[in-house]
Structure 1
Amino acid sequence: MAIKQSLKLKLAVFFTALGWMSQLHAQNWTLTEASIISFDIKTVGLSAVKGVSNQPDSRLFFDINLPENSSVQLILPASTLKFSNDALRPMILGENFFDAAQFKNVTFKSTEFRQHAVGHYWVAGELTLRGIIKPITFDVVLKPNAANAKLLDINASGSINRSDFGMKRSYADVGDKVNIQLIGQWQPK
């Protein structure tokens, strides 16, 4: 009898936690301050330029039970970017690259959120850079944070070609491909 009651109690706790987790995930989230968006441009296999920002305006609606109903939007002020070589800042934020004086923000808005494995998603959307909108798909891993169940860890990566956004194609042998990454945590909003 005691075993039956213990099993019932364990099942009740499990289903309550499962319900709590699904409610937790079917809500709006924002990135923590420790999260970073970065990009790097390679030349001859080496990272020539790396930029990082931890100040995006972010919103994620995520439903673990219906991930196809999820969406994400990021707005990154170009002025918040920090570079591996600060001497490159005027050139990269200048008119040949970001043209940050005219185009203050880089934005991403999802159009599709598709699960391809447990905790792994393809997130397609529109990236706006220099006033030009182009499609991009990110490979995203979302999972509960091991130390804090109220956080979702994120690791997202994708790539674009600079020339697709009107940036000089070959400036000082800097490559055309730009790798973009988001690493951090989402917290309930």
Structure 2
Amino acid sequence: MSYSRIPRRPDVTTLELVGGAEALAIELHSYDDQWPDIYLDHRRRITDALAGSDVEIEHIGSTAVPGLAAKPIIDIVVAVDDITAEEDYLDGLLAAGYELRVREPRHRLVRTPARDVHVHLYERHDPAIDEYLLLRDHLRSDANDRALYESTKRSLLSERWDDMNDYADAKTDVILAIKARARAAREQ
């Protein structure tokens, strides 16, 4: 699917990282059966904050994969009608207690002050959403790739990361390989 939606107004053209780079200690935790409940609590919080808006909300990332060790951060993706119309979603999310962390082309990220929930906002039909769901669904069903992904994350923990984005970038090759297998499996 190609991304052809034209925003109603120009989007931002650069990355704005509110608060700058953040050094952090990354720890993997064994899968926690409470993660789906935390997601559901935040799903309700987001739905209430965006009452009247037509949004799609999904639990993504490692905490959405039963049995997979993860950083204890619940990742959520929200599809909105127009990412450039921040007044339709950002004010409500900020009023609900989330803080703006990232504003970049086609993507916004808000998070809890405790940094334990990240809400990624994209425009409806953005291919990034499909990519998140492809990886999540494949890891849920393929034990070998789930183990590979976890071992990759564990090996990266031996390094120091000045920013979570650098850690995420270091996993890119493995994620791309897993998604290629997921696409191939989907076509069978």
TM-score bucket (shorter structure):
under 0.3
Name whichever structure is richer in helix by fraction: 2
TM-score by length of structure 1 reads 0.23
Q: Which structure exhibits the higher relative contact order, with contacts defined as CA atoms closer than 8 Å and separated by 6 or more residues?
A: 2
Structure showing greater Rg: 1
TM-score by length of structure 2 reads 0.23
